[in-house]
Structure 1
Amino acid sequence: MFKIRSMRGFLTSSIGATCATALALPLTLPATNASAATATPTAATEVTAIPGSTRSLPLAPLSAERVLGTAPLQGLHRPGGEHFSLVGVVWDDPDTRLHGRVQVRTRSAATGAWSGWQDVETHNADHGADPGTAERGARRVRGATAPLWVGASQGVDVRVRADGTGRDGRTGRPRPPRSSLPSGLRLQLVDPGDEAPPEGAPLRGAPADQPHTDLDTDAARAASTANTDIARYGALDIPALGKRATEQELTRLRGPVKGKPHIGARPRIVTRRGWGADEAVRSGGFVYSKKIKAVFVHHTASGNNYTCSEAPSVIRSIYRYHVDSMGWRDIGYNFLVDKCGTIYEGRAGGVAKAVLGAHTLGFNNSSTGIAVIGTYGTAKPPKAAVTALSRLAAWKLGLYGVNPRGKTYLTSAGGNLYAKGKKVRLNVISGHQDGYATECPGERLYAKLGTARSGAARYQGR
């Protein structure tokens, strides 16, 4: 049995931005970079808790497959001994789709009671880095289901069945399976770790009146520095600005604007430091597009059973799932929005910059991805979340002079709707399904995109 463990230890300020957590990974999962926990402490080093962990467990054929003669069925039952809040299933080949059904039930860490069976969204390949990029081609990239938030749990039961269940209507015999399961199926149990640390002692390398003690690695310092064009170093959040102050900031960032500037007032954004990102998890450095021409709206498909106070834990879990389990360089989304309308920084590199994400396979270049935390196929997205989406889009698109009500052309890098090199005319604010054949961002959220466009344009003063 293998376990990706939570580590607590000494970190030195000499650790490079490319360092990642040391992971005792199973043989079928890729290794990460060198251990940050094995560095030798220096006199200036303080003890820093590394939050969270990912445990990867192999699935095995279940006896029901042999007894019933139905479609391939794999699973795992662990009644206790775990600690996790988010689950998902991964497999070896990112280009192979899981045609079937994944269900889990979990045992509450608080009550010991088992939940009912829940479906996990199996079609998740449409989220990811563009074909041909270094991130997409990395050997550690895996196929995966969407992550599912289950809350603090200590036991798990999972079953994965391929398409082809049922019996022949004429003979009554089991039908042969229409598909097989991908190779290397593994259950991922993600522990988000401790809550985001509170304001504290003076920051290394910063004025004494700036809080906190956790920016003691190159990766953490780089993530915070990337936002210093609009926020103080080490900020836990980037405060909201009024319309006039935002227009002045636009001039400072982009130079004089001809005519009336059209930009929405900058909304409050919780930084990665604010939601407790362990910067040692992700790959070092940042990758950028030249500009932002469009916004793609997503839902995380992680379920709606979270409270707003749990949102940072959900994000930390998705972050670990994207990196530890799926093999991406960082969390895929550029921004996330919770059900109460709080906006969070996603992929590192600076919220005002054109950070290249991994959210809309084929159209990540020149776009930004905003994910509303939850599942909105049948559930109505909260008004606060839609409003926050509009305000964020009005500001982000305004930084690049883009009209939220407009159309734009993006060139496909390849996908199941548009061939590589195809120039596609899209709404400036589009749903994920506009660029890829997928149900994301869910029917109910997709129906709100017209509201988001008109609201964003109004916030820009158009």
Structure 2
Amino acid sequence: MRSRRVILRFLPLGLVTILLGSVMVWQNGVERRLGEDVNTSPEVVVSEHDVPVVAATEPSKAEKRAAPRAPSSAVPSTSLRTVAELAPTDIKSFSMVGVTWRSGVPNDAEVEVKWRHDGSWSRWTDLHNDVENTWTEGGRPGTEPQWVDQADGVAVRVRAHEPSTPRDLRVATVDPGKLSGTTPVAAAVGQPPIISRSSWGAKNGSGCDAPKYGSTTRGAVIHHTAGSNSYTKSDSASIVRATQAYHMNGRDWCDIGYNFLIDKYGQIFEGRAGGIDKPVRAAHSGNGPVNEETMGVSLMGTFTSTDATAAMKSATVDLVAWRFSDYNIPAKGTYSLGGKTLNRIAGHRNVVSTECPGAKVYAWLSASGGLRDRVEDLLAGGGGGGGGTPTGTAVPTGLKSTAQTSTSLTFAWNKVAGAPQYRVQLSTSSSMSNATYYRSVGLDETITGLKPGTKYYAKVRTIEMDGTNLSPYSSAVSVSTKSASSSKTDVPTGLKSTAQTSTSLSFSWNENGAPRYRIQLSTSSSMSNATYHRFYGKSGTISGLKAGTTYYAKIRTIEDDGTNLSNYSSSVKIATKKASASAVKTTAATTTTAAASKSVAVPSSKSFSFKGHGYGHGIGMSQYGAEGGARAGKSYTSILDHFYPGTGLGSKSGTIRALVTADSTDSVMIEGRSGLKLRYVASGKTLTLPDSIGGKKVIRWSIDPLASDKKKSTLRYRTSSTWATYKSTTWTGAAQFEASTMDLVLPSGPDRTYRTALRSALPKSGATNRDTVNALSIENYTRGVVAREVPSGWHAEALKAQAVAARTYGVRAITSSRHYDICDTTSCQVYGGADAEAASTDKAVSATAGKILTYGGKPALAQFSSSSGGYSAEGSQPYLKAVSDPWDDWSGNANHDWTKSVSASTIQSKYSSIGTLKSMQVTKRNGHGDWGGRVTSLELKGSKGTKTISGNDARSAFGLKSSWFTF
């Protein structure tokens, strides 16, 4: 038997609001395991033991008699068989237990544990299977943990209704140690006392130090932790610590799964890091969008037959009312999110199939005088809570709209003495439902990306720098954006060229009050193959042009979002200057001189210390730069113009085919559901698939290569533990399952949801192998990309810029030369199907529907990377220029500046032909930014020879974040 013992020492942790590190954290949708920190806090010991798999056999009579519950409707048998079992085993003293696995445990399996306390064994206890959170949070499937107080022995058994082979099944036990005491955080306005993460000893240094945020908070989901109800008040912090340790080291999550936890004594504990008043995405509901836009509150205990205490209920009322007040959410009513219609205050069982939060607590939610009634009373100013509402501080006055366009509103207000920041709340509803929020350090805020001719309501409050509220909201003011037609302007006049170089033309024109101007530039008087350039004000310069070339230019007025406000002016004709031979030579010489650097010998430490800027190849849009630009008030069109100069906005609709690389089998297997069809791709003929066959529900469908002739395919189904062929179907060529959404069964993990069509595709005619391809609309594809590429809590304008770039990148990849258009990994751009979607990113996709970047009338190559470091890199296209990026340098970007130590032995191992490394020297850079810019040529000198490599080669071989470095 293999066991693993992990000792964690937990560091104090304040409110963490900085977005850290690699874009890979959110691309992959999988949080990373924490490192180990050392301080004087009590140890948290997590031990893991393998649970042996039991050879598949028919269930015994005893097992049949012992089956404690009926299976789900999808499972035809009522029998249970043991598929894995750990005999009673001595374990070092622990207080919490849970079970995890890699794959092979059916969703309806029973996972049971028992433990030894004071020499006596408990009865078998069923642990709730919590696999729903695996695809929303990542990590390992597993159960909820069970608090056992004190135990020194454990036994496990897994029982299923059909033959199953669990893979990498482990039982995790946790000893959280004891804390001397906890102290609630001093309450802000309306906030109940909350015990901070630092007070209960939260673990620091995780991937959740870069929190993910929803666009708002829309409701609350109530849970229970499960486990004993007989804990003491001093045990509560240990339970929270143990829960975090199990979630992080058993489930491989980045942090504890809940936003808040409340004990039976009324103590409220801060859960996942990121800010107690912010819409932090946690891992509580099993539904990604619900995790992003609700607060997960877990009541500590089991409430199947035991009711929550009065203190626990009062604390829950206070907490929910405070957060609902902050986001102007009513206590009652419903909303739609993640494919569900939920009450504003819902139970976990309303989101997924579970007993949580227990029958007693669930009944209390809707009871007369229950949670919803008491929160509603407290929000109305009554005494529904347990602690009352503290008096507020000064509310900002004088809120008014000072400017309006068809897509933007500017607001201003009076200064409040001592207020560090302000938060503006904006909604199309007077009740402020589905509001968006904007921070400002000044006394005004311009909000862009709005709908023309629409009435908006706005409020403002004062806040701390960390987002803590300092005052209630002001009264609402209402104002409407201008209609698109009312914003039409006259054609600009006076267009002329004011300066010319060999590679640029400067223009000026008469300003007429339009939001922006667009210049159309072409080398042809017919304006064919034109490029488009956006400007503010009354002048602008277009660079990157050809020397000694005649150009034609026209100008029109446009909205911030690119909507045309006028026709084009008449064209003007102007030529760039011819390049002089001496200038070319001087420029080349200057670049060479600036690029060279001193040769550096291997240090005595045998390790080079690299300093660098940025993360990724740096070509095109910087994702952190886009967020920085949005924070600086830039619209998404401004952001795109900056990173892709010379491109225009076009439109594209249609279908795209994404390769599903996680399905490494030759089958396309999906879960049974109503409304399924099978379509033969070549002929277009469809077959409607039944929900049940022979009176039994179809559990799964699968398109498989025919065993006797793998060039052909067949359709199979399963209603029990055995598979059958459906109506003797066989065919040649591709076929696909179709429905609004389908759950694809993957070989190494839980199901993943995809939209529209899942195709069994042949790489070439007559192939015997198959690939799984998701065919769907370009818009739905883009929805599955954006939240995998950037955090869904980022500013709306940054999300819109990412949506246009992602849509463009996908459209450009569409081809008829192979059986798919684009892959779903970082080799293309990351696509996660419907599971990846989030409300905020869906809004960004909808707001930019169909828009793509074009160049010369064709889709542009819209490359992007995590961080430019302050200057983008030149790419393969005229519009992929090296441009200065001041937006990239903001407090949340840990990739703007970085350091890394690389041993000489690492470099030698990658380039063994040079022998023992003696020195390195940068011989050429691209000339943009610090140190002369990105490295384009690096010379390695060794005992056996010299090797010249590119900066990108060095980045890959040395494990650097980018090719922009020095040492």
Fold in common (TM above 0.5): yes
Give the number of equivalent residue pairs.
Answer: 343
Whole-Å Cα distance in 2 between the matches of residues 380 and 33 of structure 1? Answer: 36
Separation in structure 1 between the aligned mates of residue 252 and residue 271 of structure 2, nearest angstrom:
16
Spell out the pairing of 1:161-310 with structure 2 (5 A cutoff). 161-163=159-161, 178-195=162-179, 236-240=183-187, 246=189, 265-280=190-205, 283-310=208-235
- The structure 2 residue matched to 1:433, chosen from 349, 362, 367, is 349
1:22-101 alignment runs, 5 A limit: 32-36=33-37, 47-49=39-41, 51-61=43-53, 68=60, 71-77=81-87, 79-93=89-103, 97-101=106-110
Partner of 2:275: 350
C-alpha offsets along residues 127-166 of structure 1, whole Å, 9 cap, x if unaligned? Answer: 4563xxxx43xxxx11111111111222222222223xxx
Opposite residue 140 of structure 2, the aligned amino acid is R
CA distance in structure 1 between the aligned counterparts of 2:109 and 2:292, rounded to whole angstroms: 31
**SS at 2:212 equivalent:** coil
Q: Could you tell me which amino acid in structure 1 is paired with residue 286 of structure 2?
A: L
Q: Are 1:103 and 2:50 matched, yes or no?
A: no
Displacement, 1:9? 11
1:285: Cα distance to partner? 1.9
How high is the TM-score relative to the length of structure 2?
Answer: 0.33
Residue in 1 that maps onto 2:325 = 398
CA contact (8 A) 1:97 1:123 kept: no
Deviation for aligned residue 1:62: 6.0
- Which AA in structure 2 matches 1:398? S
Partner of 2:67: none
291-300 vs 120-129, which moves further: 120-129
Identity among equivalent positions (%) equals 30
The 1:181–1:285 alpha-carbon spacing in structure 2 relative to 1, beyond 3 Å, is same
- 1:113 aligned onto 2:114: no
Query: 1:442 corresponds to which letter in structure 2?
Result: G
Are 1:387 and 2:396 matched, yes or no? no
**Which aligned pairs between 1:370-381 and structure 2 lie closer than 5 A?**
370-381=297-308
RMSD: 3.2
Gaps in structure 2 of 5+ consecutive residues? 13-17, 22-30, 64-80, 382-967
Q: Could you tell me how far apart the structure 2 residues matched to 1:10 and 1:434 are?
A: 36
The one-letter code sitting in structure 1 at the alignment partner of 2:295 is T
Change (3 A) 1:85 1:457: same
- Aligned-partner Cα distance in 2 for 1:10–1:387: 30
Which residue identity lines up with residue 83 of structure 1 in the other structure?
Answer: S
Alpha-carbon shift at residue 374 of structure 1 (Å): 1.2
Whether the 8 Å CA contact 1:292–1:400 is kept in 2: the answer is yes
- 2:380 aligned counterpart, secondary structure: coil
Give how far 1:179 is off.
4.2
| 1:241-272 per-position Cα deviation (integer Å, ceiling 9, x unaligned) | 6xxxx2xxxxxxxxxxxxxxxxxx32111111
Distance in 2 (CA, whole Å) between partners of 1:394 and 1:64 is 52
Partner of 2:964: none
Look up the equivalent residue of 2:46 and give its one-letter code: T
Partner Cα separation in structure 1 for residue 260 and residue 171 of structure 2? 27
One-letter code aligned to 1:86: M
Distance across 1 between alignment mates of 2:258 and 2:204: 16
1:369 to 253, 274, 296: 296
Per the alignment, do residues 64 and 181 of structure 1 end up closer, same or farther by CA in structure 2, a change over 3 Å counting?
closer
- Corresponding residue number in structure 2 for 1:333: 258
In structure 1, runs of 5+ residues without a counterpart are: 20-29, 38-46, 164-177, 200-235, 247-264, 413-417, 419-423
Measured against aligned partners, the alpha-carbon deviations of 1:314-347 in whole angstroms (never above 9, x if no partner) come to 1111111111111211111100111122111010
Query: C-alpha distance in 2, partners of 1:461/1:10?
Result: 40
Choose between structure 1 and 2: higher strand proportion: 2
After superposition, the Cα gap between the structure-2 partners of 1:102 and 1:386, relative to the gap in structure 1 and judged at 3 Å, is same
Q: Report the residue type matching 2:141 in the other structure.
A: G
Residue equivalent to 2:364: 448
Task: Give the superposition deviation at 1:105.
Answer: 2.5
**Kept after mapping to 1: 8 A contact 2:6/2:45:** yes
- C-alpha spacing 1:68/1:299, structure 2 compared with 1 (3 Å): same
CA distance in 2, matches of 1:404, 1:10: 36
AA partner of residue 185 (structure 1): L
Secondary structure, counterpart of 2:111 in structure 1: strand
Code of the residue aligned with 2:126 in structure 1: it is: V
CA distance in 1, matches of 2:239, 2:343: 29
> Deviation per CA, 1:172-212, whole angstroms, max 9, x where unpaired?
xxxxxx342532211111111232x559xxxxxxxxxxxxx
Q: What is the SS of the residue equivalent to 1:402?
A: coil
Structure 2 letter corresponding to 1:187? V
Residues 281 and 320 in structure 1, CA contact (< 8 A), matched pair in contact too: no
Separation in 1, partners of 2:10, 2:238: 21
Task: Give the corresponding residue for 2:832.
Answer: none
Contact 2:220 2:296 in 1 (8 A): yes
- Are 2:148 and 1:147 aligned? no
Cα offset, 1:282, TM superposition: 6.0
Residues 9-63 of structure 1: CA distance to partner in whole angstroms, max 9, x if unpaired?
999xxxx9989xxxxxxxxxx98355445xxxxxxxxx53462021110011469
Q: For 2:121, what is the secondary structure of its paired residue?
A: coil
Whole-Å separation in 2 of the counterparts to 1:65 and 1:48: 51
Distance 1:10 1:281 in 2: 11
Retained in 1: the 8 A contact 2:94–2:173?
yes
Partner of 1:4: 5
For 1:328, what is the secondary structure of its paired residue? coil
Structure 1 residues 319 and 9: CA distance shift in structure 2, 3 A? closer
Separation in structure 2 between the aligned mates of residue 397 and residue 460 of structure 1, nearest angstrom: 8
Q: 1:266 to 1:114 in 2, by over 3 A?
A: same
Q: Which residue of 2 aligns with 1:228?
A: none
Residues 384-443 of structure 1: CA deviation (Å, up to 9, x unaligned)? 222211111000111111111233332x1xxxxx4xxxxx43211111122222222122
Distance of 1:289 and 1:435 partners within structure 2: 17
Aligned to 1:213: none
Structure 2 Cα separation of the partners of residues 10 and 147 of structure 1: 22
Q: Which has the larger radius of gyration?
A: 2
Mapped to 2, the partners of 1:368 and 1:157 lie a distance apart of 34
**Alignment CA distance shift 1:268-1:9 (3 Å):** closer
What do the CA deviations read for 1:202-240 (whole angstroms, capped 9, x no partner)? xxxxxxxxxxxxxxxxxxxxxxxxxxxxxxxxxx42234
> d(CA) in 1 for partners of 2:91 and 2:226?
27
1:455 aligned counterpart, secondary structure: helix
Larger RCO (CA within 8 A; separation ≥ 6): 1
Structure-1-length-normalised TM-score: 0.67
**CA 1:31 to 1:386, structure 2 compared with 1: closer, same or farther past 3 Å?**
closer
**Alignment match of 1:461 (pick from 380, 383, 393):** 380
SS at match of 1:287: coil
Deviation at 1:447, TM superposition (A): 0.5
1:126 corresponds to? 132
**Matched residue SS, 2:40:** strand
SS at match of 1:365: helix
Q: Secondary structure at the match of 2:371?
A: helix
Is this contact kept in 1: 2:305–2:360, CA < 8 A?
Answer: yes
1:361 partner SS: coil
Q: Output the CA distance in 1 between the equivalents of 2:8 and 2:280.
A: 29
Measured in 1, the distance between the counterparts of 2:91 and 2:121 equals 17
CA distance in 2, matches of 1:10, 1:123: 30
Between 1:99-108 and 1:343-352, the stretch displaced more is 99-108
> 1:433 is paired with a residue of what secondary structure?
helix
**Equivalent-residue separation in structure 2 for 1:56 and 1:393 (angstroms):** 36
